[in-house]
Chain A
Amino acid sequence: MIERHVGFVAALREAGMPVSLAEGLDAANALMVIDLLDRESLREAYAATLVKRPVHRPGFDVLFDLWFPPVLSSEMSAPEEAEYDPNSSAEQLRRVLQGLLLGDPDSPAFREFVRAVVERFGRVEAGPGRQSWFSYSVLRALSPDTLIARMLNQMLTERGGLPEKMARQQISANIRKFEEAVASDVRRRIAEESGIERIARSALRPPIDRLDFLRVTKAELAQLRREVYPLARRLASRLTIKHKHGHRGRLDFRRTVRASLSTGGVPLTTHLRPKRPHKPELVILCDASDSVSSFSQFTLLLTFALREQFTKVRAFAFVDTVDEITKYFAPGTDVLDAITRMTKEADITRFGRTNYGNVFTRFADRYGDAIGPKTSLLILGDARSNYQPPAVDTLKQLVAKARHAYWLNPEPRPQWDTGDSVATGYGAVIPMYECRNITQLAAFIESTDVGAR
């Protein structure tokens, strides 16, 4: 048990979770007081002592399933007891799956079914004498997504409206659980055959806060969005704290005298008037072209979140020409609507190929007065200008007018200056930061004071 515990902790560390020595000891202590035979309780005990960030939990669960696989009832429930025969046709199995998806996905029958179908469809010959397990072959054989229409018909008397929406929600949640169960069973089988360490390394996606903006899937994008709001809040609250701890103003005579009453007229504590806070102004220029589409979606969300926190934010989007998009992001509007409206209505595209030089020139022409001595300028983009003249001087003038200026680049640093990237050219006139994931964005926010004081 000790060996397994140490191995598991090492695997967590290798997957990037910061597990300290003390936390490992806590976990070991926890193992002394819980019932080790209860697998879920063991899982939660490990989670409570080792995983201190929700973003690490999915990775933890994958590793836990590998290191502490469920005990299989070795005599599988006899086929005549089950209502289906695992060797029957795919169509029949689909019908069974349909029934199970309408029920409780945590039931033993559901798990039993997952094991049976992985056994049946998951095996793929991977060369002479070798075999491996794949979840996509299971999902392809059963294609649970195509069952939705049938299930909806079965559940509802008439289609449309709220009931359908709710039924869909329930079904797709169950399908996701089915897919996860299949993936987890496949990993377990691979681990049995070729060792835990090998599969552990390949099975894990990085936790959401270290995920590359340019390589996110759609589902992860939704998750990323939820991470944005706390960041914007943190940025805003950081600024307010700064004001409080900053220079204090003149003596507040009234409050000082009032306070002195409790000490018999001796002014033991003096009260000072708070200094008038400086209202930071923010101008955001963001690349909305396809090459950085997931990044720009994300930055638009950041823009939106900032717009709600600051009073004076002006946002501009560009592809090869630039337009102000502040009005689409008014506080209180729906963010997804705003993005759709912006892509439809805003005048940001001429030929559809990013042209930074043209953008900066036009921006200086049309909106040059947006940038003043109180403004912080934030540019978000990959600095890939399709070999057009970069107009570095125009940018230099813009930067000189602003109080602070920063450029966030979603590309990894080694790729800067390759191909049509002019990262270093721009980087010479404006500080450029690599910003590929939430962690780097948070680090940027912490390290700089965007518009503070």
Chain B
Amino acid sequence: MGWFGAPAEVGERLRGVDYLADEGIVTSVFLAGALEKPLLVEGPAGVGKTQLAKAVAGATGAELVRLQCYEGLDEARALYEWNYKKQLLRIQAEDDAWEDIFSEEFLLERPLLKAIRNDAPTVLLIDEIDKADVEVEGLLLEILSDYQVTIPELGTISAVRKPYVVLTSNATRELSEALKRRCLYLHLGYPTPERERDIVLAQVPGLAGNLAEQLARTVATLRSLELKKSPSIAETIDWGRTLLALGRAELDEDTIGETLGVVLKHHSDQARAVKELGLS
């Protein structure tokens, strides 16, 4: 079963769920489906990495299973866990229950196992993999290459239907070669002003075209300054919403000065922008 028929179809269907994809995104998303390989999406915060996974799920009508990674994430919270309480109760209730306390009944499924065992189409999103410890990557390798999970007490569980796997990373640390080798790689950067304008228009209905254009150009200029944190697409969209709520029709210097806090969240960044752009 294929996820998408052709690259062109990917673009169209993603647009149907308000995700505007460029050539690189379209091709990678298509290949991940066609080759049945996980897609590793890397890039700065707020450029739509997680959104891409959601859009793929939305466009294909698949269920989205999400595993949020964080420091200290372990097998018990990512893969599966035995229901100790229930096991203990069973042992107390029946004396000879030692044999069957490791069965399906006592298994608590966590996102990874759930995605593997789901027989409906599934998009598995492993979010911010760089935040997790290196050991978690090792845990993922079996799933990413063979779509199977080994539970010592039960044996190997293979995927009923291979899920569409998307991993995202902010590149705060280098991922292991073994992980990268198993994935297709997509680097998401900041979009061109033209694409950003279209994104803003799609996400903020009611915003005038020329205002979106000005917005996208201003944000591109801000990104060219050396800021501590460049504005993300999400922040551009917030800015668009702000302008709409304030009822501004023009993005002039005063308006930028008043609303700069929506896109720049560090005092030094704001000071720098004010100085470089000649705002008063």
Which residues of A89-131 have CB atoms within 8 Å of chain B's CB atoms? none
Whether B278 pairs with A161 at a CB distance below 8 angstroms is yes
Most chain B CB within 10 A, of A40, A161, A169, A333, is at: A169
Which residues of A9-50 have CB atoms within 8 Å of chain B's CB atoms? 18, 20, 22-23, 26, 29-30, 33-35, 38, 40-41, 44-45, 47-49
Segment of B34-42, B56-64, B93-101, B120-128 engaged in the interface with chain A: B34-42
> Does B104 touch A at the CB level, under 8 Å?
no
Distance in Å: Cβ of A39 to nearest Cβ of chain B:
10
Interface residues on A, range: 35 or more
Distance in Å: Cβ of B21 to nearest Cβ of chain A:
11
Q: Which residues of the other chain, B, contact A237 by a CB distance below 8 angstroms?
A: 172-173
Q: Which of A38, A51, A241, A263 contacts B185 (CB 8 A)?
A: A51
> Does B256 touch A at the CB level, under 8 Å?
yes
Distance in Å: Cβ of B239 to nearest Cβ of chain A:
15
Q: Which of A45, A170, A442 contacts B217 (CB 8 A)?
A: A170
Whether A162 pairs with B88 at a CB distance below 8 angstroms is no
Cβ contacts A43-64/B at 8 Å (1 or 0 each): 0110111011010010000000
- Given A29-B35, A161-B253, A162-B278, A263:B266 Cβ within 8 A: no
Separation of A41 and B28 alpha carbons in the complex (Å): 9
Q: Which residues of the other chain, A, contact B187 by a CB distance below 8 angstroms?
A: 54, 57
> Does A233 touch B at the CB level, under 8 Å?
yes
Interface SS, A side: helix
Interface residues on B, range: 35 or more
Q: Which residues of the other chain, A, contact B183 by a CB distance below 8 angstroms?
A: 52
Q: Which residues of the other chain, A, contact B220 by a CB distance below 8 angstroms?
A: 166, 169-170
> Does A279 touch B at the CB level, under 8 Å?
no
Q: Which residues of the other chain, A, contact B68 by a CB distance below 8 angstroms?
A: none
Contacts across chains A and B counted by CB atoms under 8 Å: 118
By a beta-carbon cutoff of 8 Å, the part of chain B in contact with chain A is: 6-7, 23-24, 26-28, 30-31, 34-35, 37, 40, 42, 71-72, 84-85, 88, 92, 133, 171-174, 177, 180-181, 183-187, 189, 193, 217-218, 220-221, 224, 226, 253, 256, 266-268, 271-272, 276-279
Q: Which residues of the other chain, B, contact A333 by a CB distance below 8 angstroms?
A: 268
What are the 6 A-B residue pairs with the smallest beta carbon separation, nearest first? A44-B27, A48-B28, A52-B185, A52-B180, A33-B34, A48-B184
Whether B27 pairs with A48 at a CB distance below 8 angstroms is yes
Whether B256 pairs with A162 at a CB distance below 8 angstroms is yes
**15 new A-B contacts at CB < 8 Å, known A48-B24, A54-B42, A54-B171:** A22-B181, A23-B181, A30-B35, A33-B31, A33-B34, A34-B7, A41-B26, A49-B184, A52-B180, A160-B278, A162-B253, A166-B218, A225-B226, A230-B173, A334-B271
